[in-house]
Amino acid sequence: MQLYIYRYKEPTELLGQRVEMLNTQRTEKLNRVKLVEKEKDELEGPKNEAVAYIKLENDLAQCRFNLQQVGNKLFT
């Protein structure tokens, strides 16, 4: 009977150690993901400001182009 207990005890302990190691790795990776998500969220505001600026620059360029076209039609 003790042979059977030993037969299962050692592999079970090894698997338990493996599970603990994998849980530790999972926790480390999960913490890293949370940190990266926080950093991404903090950059959302500056990104939106940059996109808004680029859109304004594009609108300005479009208006200048339209003005130039109108000027060209007036003087031709």
For residues 26 and 49, give the distance between their C-alpha atoms in angstroms, rounded to a whole number. Answer: 35
- How many angstroms separate the Cα of 1 from the Cα of each of 6, 7, 22, 44? 9, 10, 32, 64
Instruction: Give per-residue pLDDT as tens, 15-63.
Output: 999 999 999 999 999 999 999 999 999 999 999 999 999 999 999 999 9
* pLDDT confidence of residue 3: 58
* pLDDT confidence of residue 1: 52
Radius of gyration of the chain (CA): 32
CA angle 56, 66, 55 (to 5 degrees): 15
